Structure 1
Amino acid sequence: MSTWFITGCSTGLGRSLAEAVLAAGHNAVVTARDAATVQDLVDAHPTSALAVALDVTDAAQIAAAVEAAEERFDGIDVLVNNAGYGYRAAIEEGGADDVQKLFDTNFFGAVAMIKAVLPAMRARKSGAIVTISSIGARISPEGSGYYAATKAALEAMTFSLRKEVAPLGITAMTVEPGGFRTDFAGRSLTQSAEAIADYADTAGKRRIEAGTGHGTQPGDPAKAATAIIAAVESDATPSILLLGRDALQGFRGTLDSLRSETDAWASTSEDTGFDA
């Protein structure tokens, strides 16, 4: 039995993961801005689940939540940074306050959570940190530049973290899901107030009022949860876990395109050093 601390459990992948963790016999600290939205998980698993109100942009709430988890279960074995939301806008359309709020939640909130759990993990010389990213960080669709940037920042940070904590008995993994049938494209998705006509055929095609894919995504959140647990429990936890055929296809396509472009400009890259 291990103890999982999962942010953003009210809906979607976070809830599916919490359900799977509890069904597997583990303890789970299930969090949401409104703890009442996850109380049903505690009602179903009164001895192994703890519901905690948590806004990952609130330092005091983070400290209180981690303290409550450690008091109840004597420590946190796995942190899953799942809390976050989407934002669609052309780069020129993005509002400064909107973008700051997005980074505060999606990136800096995750960093704050990691810093809150690491001292105890270091003391025990064990633990796992899971960061939920998105294939968007890899393929960077038009209209999702700011969201992709938050996830790309998360990934870069997590790759460095993995190297830093490996000698301490701790692992870190990034998860890149494709399209899953969650609430991400519903209430968890926001967009800029301004729409510039010149971007109608690029970023504009991804605006919420133009979207038709919500509720028809190919990915099954329950299967994603099972895959995440298996990867964390593996003796060879990967640095990055792709979830969904669309994620795998997008990842490989991006790598192939970058490799081709890199090779085409290789001689220019190599010729930037001082002459012998």
Structure 2
Amino acid sequence: MVFGEQRQPADSEHARLAVAADGEVVAVFVGDAADASIAVEAAVERFGRIDVLVNSAGASFKGFFEEMSPEQVDRQLAANLVGPMNVTRAVLPVMRRQRSGHVIAISSGAGLIGFEYSSVYAASKAGLAGWMSALSAEVAPFGIHTTMVYPGFFRTGLASAASLVWPEVSVDDYAERSAAQRVWWESQDGQQVGDPYKLAAALVTIAEEDPPPRRLIAGADVIALAERKIAELQVDIAAHRSLSESLTFDD
């Protein structure tokens, strides 16, 4: 049984497809731990077990860091980091009892290399990746696997006018660049190169692998980002290797 949460309402196309496949859709506010627990209980009551959890709900707050209000920072982290933690906390006892399970979380290319005008979003996705990396070791003794998915630019509703959240604070020094960034982001909806249905099929593929991968770099565009990140790390290490290796006690 696969349990997932999404941004779309219960009457969305995706929800109707789930019901048609003998699934069930339960509305979940992932920012509320109690709500997440109720949804998981409903899933277990209906299906008896949870084999795969897909943490896919999220939000995209755009703006330069100084333009983002503290409340927006809290909301971004709640949606993309705390929310998946809440759902996973509710699911893990079920998987531990089963001594099996697979937790999948959706990060972003921004979680590998931060993009300007997405600093708080990048923080939420990088935090998600760090948490999942540590969680992998914590739950492995119970037969539970984890996979961190780093998608590139996929044609989902995340870049739509209804989904993007713009900055609440105006800073003159950023005004011109902020306006240009907003125009660019508004132009991207429907232009992304990634096919979300192919990504969904890829998630099914990795869910059926034994063992599944700890990471999936999903999309040619994000493969290029990952390779760039690796190259940057190698340059940084080489530039200060002697200094770094000299930092141990002498005795």
TM-score (norm 1): 0.85
Aligned counterpart, 1:41: 17
Aligned 1:174-213 pairs, distance under 5 A? 174-186=148-160, 187-199=162-174, 205-207=180-182, 211-213=186-188
**Alpha-carbon distance between aligned partners in 1 of 2:243 and 2:19, rounded to the nearest angstrom:** 63
Provide, for residues 176-235 of structure 1, a one-character-per-residue CA deviation record: whole Å limited to 9, x for no partner. Answer: 000001111112221212243423576654335664222111101111111111112111
With over 3 angstroms needed to count, the CA separation of the structure-2 counterparts of 1:181 and 1:154, relative to structure 1, is same
Provide, for residues 152-178 of structure 1, a one-character-per-residue CA deviation record: whole Å limited to 9, x for no partner. Answer: 111011011111111211100100000
Partner amino acid, structure 1, of 2:79: T
**Alpha-carbon distance between aligned partners in 2 of 1:154 and 1:189, rounded to the nearest angstrom:** 20
**Alpha-carbon distance between aligned partners in 1 of 2:244 and 2:191, rounded to the nearest angstrom:** 44
**Alpha-carbon distance between aligned partners in 2 of 1:101 and 1:52, rounded to the nearest angstrom:** 22
**Alpha-carbon distance between aligned partners in 1 of 2:96 and 2:53, rounded to the nearest angstrom:** 13
CA RMSD of aligned residues (A): 1.8
Q: Does 1:255 align with 2:230?
A: yes
Moved more, 196-205 or 260-269: 196-205
TM-score (norm 2): 0.93
Partner amino acid, structure 1, of 2:239: A
Aligned counterpart, 2:101: 127
Q: Does 1:104 align with 2:78?
A: yes
Number of equivalenced pairs? 249
Aligned counterpart, 1:145: 119
Structure 2 unpaired stretches of 5+: none
With over 3 angstroms needed to count, the CA separation of the structure-2 counterparts of 1:40 and 1:200, relative to structure 1, is same
Q: Secondary structure at the match of 2:50?
A: coil
Identity of aligned residues (%): 37
**Alpha-carbon distance between aligned partners in 2 of 1:224 and 1:248, rounded to the nearest angstrom:** 14
Aligned counterpart, 2:243: 268
Aligned counterpart, 1:163: 137
Aligned counterpart, 2:214: 239
Q: Does 1:75 align with 2:49?
A: yes
